[in-house]
Chain A
Amino acid sequence: MANEVLRARVGELAARVKGEVGESLGVLELTINSAEAIEALTGAKNFVDVPCDFLHDLAGMDLEDHLEVVYQLSSLRGPQRLRIIARVERDNPVLDSATCLWKGADFLEREAFDMFGLQFRGHPNLKRIYLWDDFEGYPMRKDYVIESHEQRAVMRVRKEGE
Chain B
Amino acid sequence: MTIAGTQEYALNMGPQHPSTHGVFRMVVHLDGEVVTKVEPKIGYLHRGLEKMAESRTYTQFIPYTDRLDYLAGPHNSLGYVQAVEKLMDLEVPERAEYLRVIFAELGRIASHLVMIASGSLDICGWTPWSYCFRDRERILDLFEMTAGNRMTPNYFRIGGVSHDVPDEFWPALQSFLDDLPENMEEYFGIFFGNEIAQARMKSVGILPKELAENLLITGANLRASGVKYDVRKAEPYSIYDRFEFDIPVLYGCDTYDRHLLRLLEIQESRKILLQALRDIPTGPVMAKVSKVIKPPAGRVYHRVENPKGEMGWYLVSNGTTKPARVRIRTGAFVNVQMLSEIIAGWKIQDLVTIFASMDLVLGEVDK
A72 engages B314 (CB within 8 Å): yes
What's the A-B contact tally at a CB cutoff of 8 Å? 86
Which of B42, B55, B216, B298 is within 8 Å of A104, CB to CB? B216
Docked Cα-Cα span, A14 to B213, in Å, equals: 26
Interface residues of A in 73-89 (CB under 8 A from B): 76, 79, 81, 83
Interface residues of B in 76-113 (CB under 8 A from A): 86-87
Docked Cα-Cα span, A52 to B301, in Å, equals: 15
Residue of B at shortest CB range from A25?
B300
A70 engages B337 (CB within 8 Å): no
Docked Cα-Cα span, A108 to B312, in Å, equals: 13
Docked Cα-Cα span, A131 to B174, in Å, equals: 46
| B25 at the A interface (CB under 8 A) | no
B329 engages A57 (CB within 8 Å): yes
Type the 1/0 row for A47-77, where 1 means its CB is closer than 8 Å to any CB of B: 0000000111101011000000010100010
A56 engages B214 (CB within 8 Å): no
A70 engages B327 (CB within 8 Å): yes
A102 to chain B, nearest CB (A): 6
Type the 1/0 row for A128-145, where 1 means its CB is closer than 8 Å to any CB of B: 011110000001100000
Interface residues of A in 7-58 (CB under 8 A from B): 24-25, 27, 29, 54-57
| A96 at the B interface (CB under 8 A) | no
A104 engages B214 (CB within 8 Å): yes
| A103 at the B interface (CB under 8 A) | yes
The size bracket of the interface on A is 20 to 34
The size bracket of the interface on B is 35 or more
Q: Which residues of A contact B367 (CB under 8 A)?
A: 130
Docked Cα-Cα span, A105 to B334, in Å, equals: 8
A159 to chain B, nearest CB (A): 23
Q: Which residues of A contact B300 (CB under 8 A)?
A: 24-25
| B137 at the A interface (CB under 8 A) | no
A102 engages B227 (CB within 8 Å): no
| A115 at the B interface (CB under 8 A) | yes
Q: Which residues of A contact B151 (CB under 8 A)?
A: none
- Supply 13 further A-B pairs (C-beta < 8 A) apart from A103-B337, A139-B51: A25-B87, A56-B216, A56-B312, A79-B234, A102-B215, A103-B214, A104-B217, A104-B334, A107-B333, A107-B334, A107-B336, A108-B334, A131-B46
A to B CB contacts below 8 Å, 30 in the list: A24-B299, A24-B300, A25-B299, A29-B299, A55-B216, A56-B301, A56-B310, A56-B312, A56-B329, A57-B301, A57-B314, A59-B327, A61-B316, A70-B314, A70-B327, A72-B312, A76-B227, A76-B229, A79-B234, A79-B235, A103-B215, A103-B337, A104-B217, A107-B334, A107-B336, A108-B334, A129-B43, A130-B46, A130-B367, A140-B50
Q: Can you list the 3 inter-chain pairs with the closest CB atoms, starting with the nearest?
A: A104-B216, A130-B43, A57-B329
Residues of B within 8 A of A (CB): 42-43, 46, 48, 50-51, 55, 86-87, 211, 213-217, 227, 229, 234-235, 298-301, 303, 310, 312, 314, 316, 325, 327, 329, 333-334, 336-337, 341, 366-367
